């Protein structure tokens, strides 16, 4: 009787061990995979390539769920000019290192340009390419710029994202300079967050003045009477605020110079509700840089090249 | 007899299975780890942080051995101005994605500035910070710029790198725009390699003209008589060429405008020996962008801020 018990025990024991080991492997492999994808996502979206190639993306591709951090939707209006590809190149080099990032690029043109479409397809970033042409009558000095492009991007978000999607919306003009820290600051935006912007308003920086965690005024060198004396690069909006205020848009008619930001923000928030980021608005993490127009005065002189080269 | 055989078989079989599974796990875990580190190394040096904090680095820290690809030494002269930190920010965002990269930053100042030193320490990049002040008499329009800074960097390489070190030296000015592809092109430089540069010489691009894999002339809109009609951003030099030509330097005295590159290159190579990169010099992978000076006209107007904020 005793020997039967032992023999059964020795037959069963290894099988139990096998089951335990197999269960253990599956758990460990999963965790190894998760660790790897954690680093990959920290280091950028290069390998994710959850590329959204058309504007017809369903919201299922937003990749957001209850565990992952909110997706940052950077809205970038752009237009054809000699420095365009250079600007997009250094933007993509920055954005590639931001995890959970979706680039909404809106061209000022009647159709996608080959240059931008090809550039984005090769960028390794998750993106959506849109386009809308700014009517010629709006392209004058003193007129607000990129209004149609930003509004089209807002419309796209409202049509393709739903209340289950976690996200933060940011207006990332194509010639500014962005630090990686900026994106981690804005990611926790609950409604509307604000921070300083460098090299703007004729000063070293503009910033919201903060007291006891609330915005109480603005440090600016230009039109201090603006309700929100802030640059387009100085705030982010939670995706749900964009979705729950479907009529909030940038104004074309009646917009005064420098008032685009205020006109938009007063539709969705109040100054006292703003969330200060970047250590109570005491760090400059984004710069309003401007790139010189390229001088092409010698383009027509001397010999022409025998091949076409994209610049 | 038969029953004893079967019972032994059923006792041994699971133990054999256990051994096989355990061996299998170890192999797989190793391969998962290797794959992860492969992607990590491809995605950049963020996790490497082989930071060289002082100029007293011994050549042992160069990290080069027979199996790893050559280190790219990017020499960046820089000087204090309102847009400096913004420029360094976007440069670092690009360079962080280049594997085997070493940034040699040379300030035009009498000592390291706090801004640059702190920025580099936080950048996550392998770097060396040097400084040399350009005498005031050389800071005039028409005079070549950053001569002293580039020469100091060349001196540092000669003092801290040896014949066993594999590397490629590139002059990366702080306001240009660099694609990641550029660095992979230059990495295979055996002696001196060349490629097109966008937005330079008053044209969309300048480029070496290539026939049968050899440079036979220059496509340029400006001073076509230059022996090497190429911008500082248009060439790279193998580290061993720098080391074996210890007297090759940038000239200050007698240097004519636009001749810095030619004056330097003719000390180390001939036009017919240049190695064309970027598909026989038909792709623009670097742009000679220029950032506008920041307008700080309102800096002294109105109230001053109560805190000091670095920009």
List the single residue in B with minimal CA-CA distance to A8.
Answer: B11
User: Contact A292/B294, CB-based, under 8 Å?
Assistant: no
A46–chain B nearest CA distance, Å: 8
Q: What is the pLDDT of residue A23?
A: 57
* Cβ pair A177:B90 closer than 8 A: yes
* Antiparallel, parallel or unpaired: β A275-276 and A101-107: unpaired
What's the 3-state SS for chain B?
Answer: CHHHHHHHHHHHHHHHHHHHHHHHHHHHHHHHHHHHHHHHHHHCCCCCCCCCCCCCCCHHHHCCCCCCCCEEEEEEEECCCCCHHHHHHHHHHHHCCCCCEEEEEEECCCCCCHHHHHHHHHCCCCEEEEECCCCHHHCCCCCCCCHHHHHHHHHHHHHHCCCCCCEEEEECCCCCEECHHHHHHHCCCCCEEECCEEEECCEEEEEEEEECCEEEEEECCCCCCCCCCCCHHHEEEEHHHHHHCCCCCCCCCCCCCCCHHHHHHCCCCCHHHCEECHHHHCCCCEECCCECCCCCCCCCCCCCCCCCCCC
Residue B178, min C-alpha distance to chain A (Å): 7
Give the tokens for residue A71.
């997706």
Q: CA-nearest residue of chain A to B8?
A: A11
Contact assignment for B309 to A47 by CB distance below 8 Å: no
CB-CB neighbours of B55 under 10 Å = 15
At residue A12, the pLDDT reads: 78
- C-alpha span between A42 and A39 (Å, rounded): 5
A204–B296: do the CB atoms touch at under 8 Å? Answer: yes
CA distance to partner chain B, nearest, from residue A215 (Å): 15
**Residue of A202, A207, A216 to mutate, interface with B, max B Cβ within 10 Å:** A202
pLDDT band (50, 70, 90) for residue A36: very low
Q: Count CB-CB contacts under 10 A for residue A62.
A: 23
* Dist CA B150 CA B171 (whole Å): 8
CA angle A52, A55, A57 (to 5 degrees): 55
Distance, in Å, from the CA atom of B189 to the CA atom of B205, rounded to the nearest integer, reads 22
> Distance (Å, rounded) from C-alpha B157 to C-alpha A193?
46
Pairing of β B167-171 and β B71-78: parallel
Which one of the listed residues B148, B185, B206, B261 is annotated catalytic? B261
Which of B175, B182, B204 would best serve as a mutation to test chain A binding (most A beta carbons within 10 A)? Answer: B204
ipTM of the complex as predicted: 0.80
- pLDDT tens digits, one per residue of A72-128: 999 999 999 999 999 999 999 999 999 999 999 999 999 999 999 999 999 999 999
Between B188 and A3, whose confidence is greater? B188
CB B205 within 8 A of CB B137: no
For residue A189, give how far its alpha carbon lies from the nearest alpha carbon of chain B (Å). 23
A-chain residues near B307 (CB < 8 A): 282
Contact residues on chain A for B89, CB-CB shorter than 8 A: 177-179, 287
B220 alpha carbon, distance to own chain's centre: 25
Q: For residue B161, which of B257, B253, B281, B60 has the smallest C-alpha distance?
A: B60
> What are the tens digits of pLDDT across the range A163-187?
999 999 999 999 999 999 999 999 9
Per-residue confidence of chain B (311 residues) as pLDDT tens digits?
Answer: 667 777 777 777 777 777 766 555 443 333 333 333 333 333 333 223 334 333 333 334 444 455 789 999 999 999 999 999 999 999 999 999 999 999 999 999 999 999 999 999 999 999 999 999 998 888 887 788 999 999 999 999 999 999 999 999 999 999 999 999 999 999 999 999 999 999 998 999 999 999 999 999 999 988 888 999 999 999 999 999 999 999 999 998 767 778 999 999 999 999 999 999 999 999 999 999 999 999 998 887 767 898 999 99
What is the spatial distance between Cα A96 and Cα A42, in angstroms, rounded to a whole number? 10
What is the overall mean pLDDT for chain A? 85
Residue A66: its pLDDT value, please? 56
Average confidence (pLDDT) over A24-50: 35
Task: Provide the annotated active-site residues of A.
Answer: 261
Residues of B in Cβ contact (< 8 Å) with A302: 220-221, 224
Within 8 A by CB and 6+ apart from A76, the residues are: A91, A103, A104, A105, A106, A172, A173, A174
* CA distance linking residue B138 with residue B146, whole number of Å: 10
Pairs of residues, one from chain A and one from chain B, whose beta carbons lie less than 8 Å apart: 213
Contact B148, B251 (CB under 8 A): no
- CA-CA distance, B311 to B301, in Å (whole number)? 18
Distance CA A233, CA A179 (A): 12
For residue B90, give the chain A residue with the closest CA.
Answer: A177
pLDDT of A64 above 90: no
């Amino acid at each position: 009787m005793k020997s039967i018990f032992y023999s059964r025990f020795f037959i069963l024991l290894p099988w139990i061990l096998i089951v335990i080991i197999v269960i253990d492997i599956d758990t460990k492999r999963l965790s190894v995979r998760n660790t790897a994808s954690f680093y990959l996502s920290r280091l950028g979206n290069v390998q994710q390539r959850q590329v959204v190639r058309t504007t017809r993306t369903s919201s299922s591709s937003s990749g957001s769920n209850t565990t992952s951090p909110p997706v940052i939707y950077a809205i970038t209006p752009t237009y054809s000019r000699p420095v365009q590809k250079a600007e997009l190149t250094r933007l993509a080099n920055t954005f590639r290192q931001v995890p959970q990032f979706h680039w909404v690029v809106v061209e000022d043109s009647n159709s996608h340009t080959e240059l931008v479409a090809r550039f984005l397809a090769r960028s390794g970033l998750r993106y959506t390419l849109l386009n809308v042409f700014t009517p010629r009558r709006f392209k004058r000095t003193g007129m607000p710029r990129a209004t149609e492009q930003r509004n089209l991007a807002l419309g796209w978000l409202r049509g393709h994202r739903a209340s289950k999607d976690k996200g933060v919306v940011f207006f990332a003009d194509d010639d500014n300079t962005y630090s990686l820290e900026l994106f981690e600051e804005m990611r926790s935006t609950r409604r509307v967050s604000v921070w300083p912007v460098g090299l703007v308003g004729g000063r070293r920086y503009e910033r919201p003045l903060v007291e006891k965690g609330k915005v109480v005024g603005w440090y600016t060198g230009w039109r201090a009477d603006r309700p929100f004396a802030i640059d387009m690069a100085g705030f982010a909006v939670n995706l749900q605020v964009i979705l729950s205020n479907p009529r909030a848009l940038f104004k074309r008619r009646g917009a005064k110079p420098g008032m685009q930001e205020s006109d938009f923000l007063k539709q969705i928030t109040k100054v006292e509700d703003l969330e200060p980021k970047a250590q109570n608005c005491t760090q400059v993490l984004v710069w309003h840089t401007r790139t010189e127009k390229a001088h092409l005065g010698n383009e027509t002189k001397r010999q022409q090249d025998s091949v076409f080269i994209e610049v």
